[in-house]
Chain A
Amino acid sequence: MSEATTLAAAAASSDPAVGLRAVRALRRLLERLEEVQVANARERGWSWQAIADELGVSRQAVHQKHNRKRR
């Protein structure tokens, strides 16, 4: 890492705008990742309950969020 990028990274870490932007991007990445993984699990025949257990959420929550038939 060059000195300039090190400095930029150090400055970025305390700037709320950059930090909050990272949180937002991470949230979006998380949403995409969850969608991909849940879809994959369903394709492989996992039950909503099994998916919910792995995600550590309720069956209803995961079903409501990912079951496409509701749309």
Chain B
Amino acid sequence: MFERFADSARSVVVAAQQEAIRVHDPRIEASHLLIGVAVAAEEPLRVLLAEEGLTVDGLRSDRAARTADSPLGDEDAAALEAIGIDLDEVRSRLEAAFGKGVLDGKGTDRRAGANRLGHIPFDRAAKKSLELALREAIARRERVIRPEHILLGLLRSDDPATVALVEAHVPRAQLRQRLNGHLDAAA
């Protein structure tokens, strides 16, 4: 299905895969694609996304905060310190008993499935989003799929994690409208 993808859209998929690897997820999820769009977006789209509050760093930290088993970061450490828990101390005691990185890694079993260098599979919502991206392009009578279409597909997909990440900043309908306007202008 990638024949009709523009280079920039392929970059989105590659960035999504790298994102999944980065956070040690066994599959490429729709929310990784969303981050992939932000990573791979070139100038006009990047500005549009930033104006709507969708930045790579912001999406990453929002996503991490919503994912219960992402590594605990500095913000968590600070929050825990405020109630008298020293995360570094907890970490060092656990590492003494269970080995280094025990608090940051996920279950090793879960990770073993994804071969780290080759490609990781898309999950169902991600696959559906890419199909919807294709449909968005067809509906707009555009032959090539661009990152904007992928984002439109993601907005249509109703994947709860992705919708939450977007709607924390901008209503879906509004973003959709801006993207369509943006594509109209580019056409």
Contact = CB atoms under 8 A, between A and B. Distances in A.
Interface of A is mostly: helix
Nearest to B94: A36
Contacts of A35: 69, 106-107
Nearest to B84: A9
Nearest to A12: B82
Nearest to A20: B79
Interface residues of A, number: 22
Interface in B72-105: 72, 75-77, 79-80, 82-83, 85, 87, 90, 94, 98, 102-103
A7 B51 CA distance: 37
Contacts, number: 62
A31 interface: yes
Nearest to B69: A31
Given A35-B107, A39-B107, A18 B69 contact: no
A22 B102 contact: no
15 contacts: A13-B82, A18-B79, A21-B75, A21-B79, A25-B72, A25-B76, A26-B85, A28-B70, A29-B85, A31-B68, A32-B69, A32-B103, A36-B102, A68-B109, A71-B113
Interface of A: 9, 12-13, 18-19, 21-22, 24-29, 31-33, 35-36, 39-40, 68, 71
